[in-house]
Amino acid sequence: MKKLLFLSLVFVVMCSAISCKKKNSSNNTNNNTVTPTACNGMNMCFKMNGSEESHDAMWKLQGSYYRIYWEQGSGNNFENIELDIYGTAPGTYTVSAYPTSGLAGFQYFINDYGNVKIIKGQSGTVEITAINGSEISGTFTITASDGSTTYEITEGKFIAVPQ
């Protein structure tokens, strides 16, 4: 009986030791990506006419261009941002309202219960600073318009955005 009790105790101790995780004091998460600190804990941020916005974006390869995007909500309560970069290498891309190869595009779509606003990039630059496996990073500065209002998008960053 004592032997069975002792083996049970050893089993519990071993299970506890195996299940304990070492506390990591760095900013790394379980998938070894760095948690952005420049964007209030998010991975995409910018100032639009001086008001700061931060979002958790993703990216995907759309044929020959990268799309960095964020979306929230659905139907008549939906917002999304699309930053399209028509190239697949680090470098600087000029923003155009009608982007093609070697250029970049920007769109911020807001549907606030039927009140729709489409803010589209007219000029500016997007720079891809790093493409590391499944993450992309860079900066952007854009002048955009919804047809009646001009928006200055400054201090734009996308940091270790995952695929």
pLDDT by residue for the chain (163 residues), tens digit each? 444 334 343 333 333 333 333 333 333 333 444 455 679 899 999 999 999 999 999 999 988 899 999 999 998 999 999 999 999 899 999 999 999 999 999 999 999 999 999 999 999 999 999 998 899 999 999 999 999 999 999 999 999 999 9
What is the model's pTM?
0.75
Question: How far apart, in whole angstroms, are the C-alpha atoms of residue 137 and residue 126?
Answer: 11
pLDDT (0 to 100) of residue 14: 37
Cβ-proximal residues to 50 (8 Å cutoff; 6+ apart), any chain: none
Distance CA(22)–CA(141), nearest Å, equals: 41
Residue 39 has phi, psi (to 5 degrees) of: -120, 40
Helix H or strand E segment including 121: strand 115-132
Contacts of 130 (CB under 8 A, 6+ apart): 90, 136, 137, 138
Look at residue 62 in the predicted model and tell me its pLDDT: 85
**pLDDT digits over 57-89, tens only?**
999 998 889 999 999 999 899 999 999 999 989
What is the tens place of the pLDDT at every residue in 30-41? 344 445 567 989
Residue type, 58: M
